[in-house]
Amino acid sequence: MVGTPELERGTGVPAHVQIEQWLLAAIAGGEMAPGDRLPGERELAGRLGVSRMTLRQALATLEAEGVLVRVPGRSGGAFVAEPRVECDLTGLAGFTEQMRRAHLRAEARVLTARTVAAPASVAAALELDAGARVHEVARVRSAGRSPVALERSYFPALPGFLDHDLTGSLYALLASGYGLEPRTAVEHLDPVIARPGEAAELGIEPGAPLMLIERTAYAADGTPVEHARDLFRPDRVRISVRSGVGPGVSAPARPAGRRAGR
């Protein structure tokens, strides 16, 4: 833990704001790293010369901003949070490429890889007959040291698809192995809450907020090649979309989505 500062009195800057500024500067300067635990409230308040109420006000603000994570219990406390990753849905970069841009290593842990009868919504999205066979792949995606997303994707029953390494880019596999590079996608975003199983895989509490992105991806000729439901942790991922208006710009038949790199 970096040394505590001497708070300035009579400057017009409240003590809790000075504490927030000190912690933000320490994190930005690399003196405190993601996962580092702050001293207990009683100890830290004593070192800063403030009441525990004042300290809690500063910690609550930083928690709300996603800078700190506070964990209840005897082994809990306040920890420096992993930085949020910017995911831009405007471009065609998938999860792997998004993490590379953020200088983080993208990892995948496969939970499910099997061939099943397509649920009705999946069959409709992939333009298949009801009950047609599809490949289901569920993975936990991580960036840095913690999970950030839970992906569940369905693909047409391509021969040998599940025999490949499924921890890398599935879009790259579609492109190189089957000539079905995803070129466009329709995506819908909805806020949801984590169910117990989802929460366990993502390392969060049941009922915590998640962002659901439901997506259907298409090859260049318009063939649907993937239908997915991805759950993102909003405390770890910030989703953005860029827009613009210009002369001669017309809406595509299917809105642009993300390219290989998923």
Token pair belonging to 34: 């993601």
Mean pLDDT of 42-50: 93
**What value does the mean pLDDT of the chain take?**
85
Residues 72 and 131 grouped into a single domain? no
In terms of domains, do 233 and 112 share one? yes
91 plus 33 within the same structural domain: no
Query: pLDDT by residue (tens digit) across 128-157?
Result: 999 999 999 999 998 766 789 999 999 999
**257 found inside a domain:** no
Tell me: do 109 and 215 sit in the same domain. yes
Q: Are residues 53 and 127 in the same domain?
A: no
Calculate the alpha carbon distances from 59 to 41, 65, 79 in Å.
Answer: 10, 10, 10
Q: Is 150 among the domain residues?
A: yes
- Asked whether residue 199 carries a pLDDT value surpassing 90, the answer given is yes
The residue segments making up the domain with residue 25 are 15-80
Same domain, residue pair 189 and 117? yes
Alpha-helical runs (H) found in the chain: 15-28, 41-48, 52-64, 95-101, 120-125, 170-178, 196-202
Lowest mean pLDDT among 38-52, 168-182, 233-247: 233-247
Whether residue 90 contacts residue 242, with contact meaning beta carbons closer than 8 Å, is answered with yes
Q: What is the pTM of this model?
A: 0.69
- Alpha-carbon distance of 80 to 35, in angstroms, equals 5
Residues 103, 200 share a domain: yes
CATH of residue 28: 1.10.10.10
CA dihedral 177→178→182→187, nearest 10 degrees, is -100
Q: What is the pLDDT of residues 215-244, one digit of tens each?
A: 999 999 999 999 999 999 988 888 887 777
What would the mean pLDDT of 77-83 be, rounded to a whole number?
Answer: 83
Distances (CA, A) of 216 to 10, 18, 88, 193, 239: 58, 48, 17, 22, 18
In total, how many domains does the chain have?
Answer: 2
In the chain, the amino acid numbered 116 is V
Please report whether residue 250 resides in a domain: no
Residues 141 and 196 in one domain: yes
Q: In the block, which residue shows the tokens 């505590």?
A: 4
